Amino acid sequence: MISRRISFAAIAALVCTVVAARMPMKWTATLAPQGGTSIAGTATVEPAGGQSKATVTLTGGAPNATYPWHVHAGACGGNGKVVGPATAYTPLKTDTYGAAKVTVTLPFAAPDSGSYYVNIHKSPTDMGTIVSCGNLTMAM
């Protein structure tokens, strides 16, 4: 009887794993210009082996510029805490056309609830100025 129980638990766990794998929690955001810039883009955050993979694209930036960015708790316009270590967020580096794309692995599981946003900071020496922002929304 014990072995039958174990196999039932194993099957239940397998079914849960398959269902979860077929419906990954993916978050997306459209980044809108802030403070009179033309900097826009997209951001996605999705599960990656117990961690998260985040991709950000950006256009309308200055050529050859560095734009720090993060996932923050809350919504655009707020002053929410950075989710996870700030050092995990490799800054965006624009090309000569002012466009950039970066993909990073973030050392935390993708959340399945809550409110989050992605913001783009003006430069490593002007973190207080936000040049683009988007609220993350969950998509199955």
Of 110 and 120, nearer to Cu ion (C-beta) is 120
How is residue 140 written in tokens? 């199955």
Q: Which amino acid is at 86?
A: A
Task: For Cu ion, give the closer residue by CB, 70 or 122.
Answer: 70
* Contacting Cu ion within 65-124 (CB under 5 A): 70, 119
- In whole angstroms, how close is the CB of 87 to Cu ion at the nearest point? 13
- In whole angstroms, the minimum distance from the beta carbon of 67 to Cu ion comes to 10
CA distances (Å), 64 to each of 50, 60, 77, 96, in order?
34, 12, 27, 6
Q: How far apart are CA 99 and CA 93, in angstroms?
A: 8
Q: How far is the CB of 119 from Cu ion (least distance, A)?
A: 4
Assess 135 for contact with Cu ion (CB under 5 A). Answer: no
| Distance, CA of 1 to CA of 76 (rounded, Å) | 55
Candidates 26-34, 50-58, 62-70, 101-109; binding stretch for Cu ion (CB under 5 A): 62-70
Nearest partner of 119 among 26, 25, 24, 35, judged by Cα: 35
State the residues that interact with Cu ion by CB under 5 A.
70, 119
